Amino acid sequence: MKYGLLGKKLAHSFSKEIHDLIGDYGYELVEKTPDEVENFIKNGGFKAINVTIPYKETVMPFLDVISDKAKMIGSVNTVVRRDGKLYGYNTDFIGFSSMIDRAGIEVKGKTVAVLGTGGTCKTAYAVCKSRGAKEVLKVSRNPDSDSISYLRLYERRKDISVIVNTTPCGMYPDNESFAVDVDEFENLEGVVDVIYNPLKTPLLQRAEKRGLKTSNGLYMLVSQAVAASELFFDTKYPEDLLDEVYGKILRSKRNIVLCGMPGSGKTTVGKLLAEMTGRKLVDTDDEIVKEIKTDIASFFKKFGESEFRKVESNVINEVSKQSGIIISTGGGAVLGRKNVDRLKQNGRIYFLDRPLSELVATPDRPTADTDEKIRLRFEERYPIYISCADETIDAHGSPEEIAAEIIRRGKE
C-alpha cells in the first residue's frame, strides 16, 4: 500500500471514494488493531496515509516531525514519508474551517458550545478560538476542569450562539439520538454536526426547522481529504476541485425517495431510475410484505390500518439508514412526520404529482380500491405530499420522461 487510511473499523468510511475522485493513486482502507499500529507506522512502507479515530493521537509518538497546528490540536490525521522521516499534519483544521465558511456561520465574538471532548472537539475548539470566538465551551457527560456538564450548558442556553456536535449521537446506526434539544437555545444562530452518516442527523433536522444555518460533516471530510492529498504530493489543486468532489459524493450518497398517490407510477419510475443510475431499488411495500408474510390487503383486513402503519414505520426506519439507493414508498408512507424525517436523513423526496383523473383504483390497494376512495385520499393527502416533498415532479408524462426529470433535478 502506498496511500490510504488507517483506522480500526472502516466499513462505512467514505474516504476511498473521495480520494478516488481527487486522483488515481490507489487509495486503500487499512484496518489495524491498537497493538498493530506502531509496527504499521514504523514499517508499513507507505508513502502517505490518513489516520482516523481512534488512532489520531496514538500515532504521534512514532513520528519524526509534527506540524505546529497538529501539536496545537493534539492529534494527527495525515502522515507523509519524506527522505526516510515521518511527518505528521492535521488537515481537520482546514476541513472544519471550510465547513463553517460554506455554511455562513460566524463565530467571532460569539459563545460556542462544542459537544464532546474527543479529537474533533479539539479541532473545533482550535478553529473557533483562532477566529475570535468570545468563549468556547467544551461540553461533556463527565465534566472536568476543561469542560462543563450538559446541565450547566442548559443553564447558559441564552448565551449560546453556535452549537458544534462532535459526539457520536445521531451517527449510523443510532440515527434517532441527539445530544441536546436545539429548541431550548433561543439565541442560537448556527448548528454544525461533524457526522456525515446520516447526511442529516436529528440535531440538524431540528435546527433546519428553525431556519438556522447548518452543516453536516461531509464538506469537512472532503475538504480535509483534498488538503491531505495536497500534502501527499506536495501540490496545490484547483480551487473548484473541492466543490466538484463534494457534489459528486453528496449526490452518490443521497437517496432518491419517491412518494405519491397509489397508482402515480412510483414503482415503474423507480425501476427505470435503478436501470438508468445503477442504484438499488427498495420498494417499502415489498419490504412490508416480507415482514408480514402475507399481502397488504389481507393484513389490512385482519389487523387494520393502524397496525399496518406501525409495520410500515419500522420498515422505513431501517430502509432510510441506507444510502445511495432509490426508495419507492407506499401512498400513505409520508402521512407520519417521523417517517418523513427518517426518509430525509439520507434522502431527497420527490412527489410524483399525477392528476386525479389518471389514478386508477385496484383491489390490491386497501385505501384506494374504489374511485371514491381514491378521490378522498387524493384530497386528504395532496397538501401533505406537497409540504413534505423537496421536489414536485409533474407525473403526467411518460415514466421515462419522469425518471429523466428526477435525474436532472438531482444534479442541481
Q: What is the pLDDT of residues 159-213, one digit of tens each?
A: 999 999 999 999 999 999 999 999 999 999 999 999 999 999 999 999 999 999 9
**How far is it, in rounded angstroms, from Cα 25 to Cα 10?**
19
Residue 17 pLDDT level (bands cut at 50, 70, 90): very high
CB 277 within 8 A of CB 309: no
Tell whether the model's pLDDT for residue 388 goes beyond 90.
yes
Among 275, 284, 332, CA closest to 309: 332
CB 92 within 8 A of CB 67: no
Instruction: Give the β-pairing of 391-394 and 347-353.
Output: parallel
Q: Identify residue 383 by its one-letter amino acid code.
A: P
Could you state, in order of their start, the residue ranges of all structural domains in the chain? 3-90+222-233, 94-216, 254-410
* pLDDT tens string 120-174: 999 999 999 999 999 999 999 999 999 999 999 999 999 999 999 999 999 999 9
For 137-171, give the DSSP string.
Answer: EEE-SS--TT-B-HHHHHHTGGGEEEEEE-SSTT-
Choosing from 2, 9, 47, 56, which is the catalytic residue? Answer: 56
The matching CATH number, chosen from 3.40.47.10, 3.40.50.1980, 3.40.50.300, 3.40.1390.10, for 254-410 is 3.40.50.300
Q: Is 8 a catalytic residue?
A: no
Backbone angles phi, psi at 36, to 5 degrees: -95, -10
Tell whether the model's pLDDT for residue 369 goes beyond 90.
no
**How far is it, in rounded angstroms, from Cα 57 to Cα 38?**
12
Judge whether 94-216 and 254-410 match in fold. Answer: yes
**How far is it, in rounded angstroms, from Cα 187 to Cα 380?**
37
| Per-residue pLDDT, 118 | 83
Question: Mean pLDDT, the chain, as a whole number?
Answer: 95
The topology (CATH level 3) of 94-216 is Rossmann fold (3.40.50)
Domain 3-90+222-233 has CATH 3.30.70.250: no
**How far is it, in rounded angstroms, from Cα 237 to Cα 233?**
10
* Start-to-end C-alpha separation, the chain: 37
* pLDDT tens string 234-253: 999 999 999 999 999 999 99
Q: How far is CA 383 from CA 126, 141, 316, 342, 351, in A?
A: 46, 42, 21, 19, 11
Q: Identify residue 57 by its one-letter amino acid code.
A: E
**How far is it, in rounded angstroms, from Cα 184 to Cα 241?**
39
176 CB contacts (<8 Å, ≥6 apart)?
170, 202
* pLDDT tens string 301-323: 999 999 999 999 999 999 999 99
List the grid coordinates of 198. 446520516
| Per-residue pLDDT, 366 | 80
**How far is it, in rounded angstroms, from Cα 200 to Cα 170?**
9
Instruction: Tell me the average pLDDT across 341-357.
Output: 97
